[in-house]
Structure 1
Amino acid sequence: MSDLRRIDPKPFLPRIPKGPKPDVGERPELQWLKIDRLRIDPRYQREIGRRGADNIVAIVPKFKWAKFTPVVVAPIGEGLFAVIDGQHRATAAAACEFESVPCVIIQVDQADQADAFVAINANVTAMSPLQLHAARLAAGDKIADELTQACEAAGVSICRYPVPANKMKPGETLAVGMLQSALAKYGRDVLVAALSCVTKTRKGNPGMIRKAIVQALCSVIEADREWLGDLPRLIFAMQTFDFAAQFNRASAAAIESGEGVAALLIDAIAAHLDGKFEASVPAEAAEEVTTPRRDGKAPVRAAKSAPIEPPVAKAPGRPSATGPVTIGRDFISRGGRRIEVAPRAALLFAAVHKAMPNCVGDEWLVSKLWTVRPPNAGDLIDQIVRNLDLASLGLEIRTHRGVGRQLVEVA
């Protein structure tokens, strides 16, 4: 109990203007009132809009009196009360079939009712995402606890209060919302590996646990989860990656190109690991890993680190390749023929191949290709498809406007 604080106004007294004390009015009363005696005055109260409706729907399934703030009301005669603050809470209680709610009754006229409404709703100290996370963690929230454990495994601590980036210690971050999203999207293992690449290289990279950096790392690791099998070697490979320099470079390039910073960092990180991480892979580890196809067709095989061979050009009149397809980070091969492709093109091909023979919508492809959606995502996908020359492999990606992209076999 020694760490609990008392209510102490002394630090703020010097800032309070001197003068006569204000007229504080009559002391409010606390009562339980019937909900059918409460009224809404439209002259100052808001209609329950979409967000308000969402709040009510969210409150009802988890309703607890411990979370219910008394409704502020004022008497308006005939045993009725105008709701000054709390119409959403009262509505949620009514939806739970409660007849009464706890109320704070203040004695004010109609003009002062509107003034009280403005004061209550305007003078609210909003909680930051950092404070909300700390409160949820103290309340035993499962999601907050899982995020905290994942961060601790990677040497990351979520700050309680804002700290300037140039004063952060290694492992400190303010990006709690981004970390929550990354944990939900990529899972614990990928997030821990991504964060470890930052905290366990180059003296901890203070101030570099940023949204774009973590999203880019998660995307690269998710694209090839084999890196999770040897985390120490992945961290060793990232020792020479300068996060600060690459982040600044990507930020500057994003202004000119219009592409997201995270998308540019994905390319930089993937290129770095292609040169550093794979170089130390033993020859015997270059065997292919086969993963089953959901539709029962030929399996997709992702090569670990097979040497890049020059693409096989299609000879005139030569029949197209057939058989299983192998997809690497920068190549696609089939039936002994191989074409080199950009890493993002390989990701797109893997997505449409997995869905074959069904179509894949552009929105789903965008989520696979970029962490942050570029403004011209549709045009970029069109360009990637145009640049993919799959004829020698007996394949073609067809675009069905309004439907999606479809990978088909061609003669």
Structure 2
Amino acid sequence: MTKSLRPVSDLVDAWLRKQHPEGRIIHPADTVVEYRLVPVESLVIDRLYQRALSAKGRSTVARIISDFSWLKFGAISVSHHDGKLAVIDGQHRAIAAAAIGINHVPALVSLADASGAAEADAFVGINDVRTTVTPVDKFRAKVAAGDPQAVELADILRELDISTDIVPGTPLRPRQTRSISALYKLIKAHGRGIVFTSLEILLDGQEDNPEALSSLNIQAVAEVTERVVKAGGDIDRLARVIEETDFDPLAESARQLRKISGGAMNSHAATMLIRAYDKGLRNSKLGSAPA
């Protein structure tokens, strides 16, 4: 078996040892369900508990349609209600399927004729216990799927010994980052060289700062690094600026500038770093960063 694959039974045993050392849990299901293909025309949405289709919801439906895959579609959850099948979970997927002319969709069907209250309780329960997919989880999935930028970013993180394995709610330590989404956008926009150099400069200049690899710091330094490289500037000079910068006051100043004049905090921070880089130079090739 591939090293990354683990039997579900092993994971259950590990969980039980921590949560229920007395043994396995006996908890019979309260409702009989079955898996089957159901006709889309039989599906209904109960507005007593289901949200109306918002702008975000319409965007979700459009994304499902444009990137349709049965592997991503999964199975919706439905229950019998007044001769129809009320959708408990999967409203957006059901609408997308209908929009592209799919006649039947996979569903987990409750065989009991549920009341509206029971359906609403199931809807809340499903959404309450569902595990949120974190940006790091999405990134790892992209790496596993062979996404070129994700694979390239994973190589950079490995080479620079940067960890994204952080327990939720715990403070960062040096060489840790939660800013995987920002890094992924940067590598798509600027490529490996700028991202690698920016991270290396931050790590070398702020090696004891646990917040060195914050999203703000990474984006600001990447913006300045790109400008220095394009202008044929001095990367060593930039490295000294990063080493001498106190990033806490920098972030606060960027925050205040955003309140006063708008714009993005990382662009304000980049402008201040450029000013520090230019200090003492007779002629600057960089100019000012856009706010």
5 Å-filtered alignment, 1:265-344, equals 265-274=269-278, 307=282, 328-329=284-285, 343-344=287-288
Q: How big is each residue's C-alpha offset from its partner over 1:4-53, in whole Å with a ceiling of 9 and x where there is no partner?
A: 3323231222599x9xx666323211111111111122222222221111
Tell me what 2:43 maps to: 38
CA–CA separation in structure 2 for the residues paired with 1:124 and 1:30: 20
Tell me what 1:238 maps to: 239
Does residue 102 in structure 1 map to residue 106 in structure 2?
Answer: yes
Tell me what 1:180 maps to: 184
CA–CA separation in structure 1 for the residues paired with 2:129 and 2:168: 25
| Structure whose residues are more often strand by fraction | 1
Match of 2:146 among 131, 135, 140: 140
Where 1:33 maps in the other structure, the secondary structure is strand
Tell me what 1:13 maps to: 20
Where 2:29 maps in the other structure, the secondary structure is coil
| Structure whose residues are more often helix by fraction | 2
The unaligned stretches of length 5 or more in structure 2 are none
2:149–2:188 CA contact under 8 A, matched in 1: no
Which amino acid in the other structure matches residue 250 of structure 1? L
1:30–1:105 CA contact under 8 A, matched in 2: yes
**1:246 to 1:23, Cα distance in 2 relative to 1, 3 A:** same
How big is the shift at 1:247?
0.5
How big is the shift at 1:99?
0.9
Which amino acid in the other structure matches residue 216 of structure 1? A
Tell me what 2:250 maps to: 250
2:35–2:108 CA contact under 8 A, matched in 1: yes
Tell me what 1:66 maps to: 71
How big is the shift at 1:193?
2.4
**1:159 to 1:31, Cα distance in 2 relative to 1, 3 A:** same
The unaligned stretches of length 5 or more in structure 1 are 279-306, 309-327, 331-342, 345-367, 371-411
Q: How big is each residue's C-alpha offset from its partner over 1:272-323, in whole Å with a ceiling of 9 and x where there is no partner?
A: 43368x7xxxxxxxxxxxxxxxxxxxxxxxxxxxx55xxxxxxxxxxxxxxx
If asked which structure has higher relative contact order (CA below 8 Å, sep 6+), I would say 2
Does residue 123 in structure 1 map to residue 129 in structure 2?
Answer: yes
1:241–1:272 CA contact under 8 A, matched in 2: no
5 Å-filtered alignment, 1:222-233, equals 222-226=226-230
How big is the shift at 1:240?
6.3
Tell me what 2:61 maps to: 56
Which amino acid in the other structure matches residue 62 of structure 2? V
**1:248 to 1:26, Cα distance in 2 relative to 1, 3 A:** closer
**1:101 to 1:236, Cα distance in 2 relative to 1, 3 A:** same
How big is the shift at 1:256?
5.9
**1:235 to 1:197, Cα distance in 2 relative to 1, 3 A:** farther
Match of 1:29 among 26, 31, 34: 34
1:173–1:209 CA contact under 8 A, matched in 2: yes
Where 1:242 maps in the other structure, the secondary structure is helix
For the aligned residue pairs, the C-alpha RMSD in angstroms reads 3.4
TM-score of the pair, normalised by structure 1: 0.58
**1:99 to 1:192, Cα distance in 2 relative to 1, 3 A:** same
Tell me what 1:386 maps to: none
Does residue 197 in structure 1 map to residue 201 in structure 2?
Answer: yes
Matched positions, count: 277
Match of 1:81 among 81, 85, 89: 85
CA–CA separation in structure 2 for the residues paired with 1:164 and 1:7: 23
2:251–2:269 CA contact under 8 A, matched in 1: no
1:198–1:205 CA contact under 8 A, matched in 2: no
TM-score of the pair, normalised by structure 2: 0.78
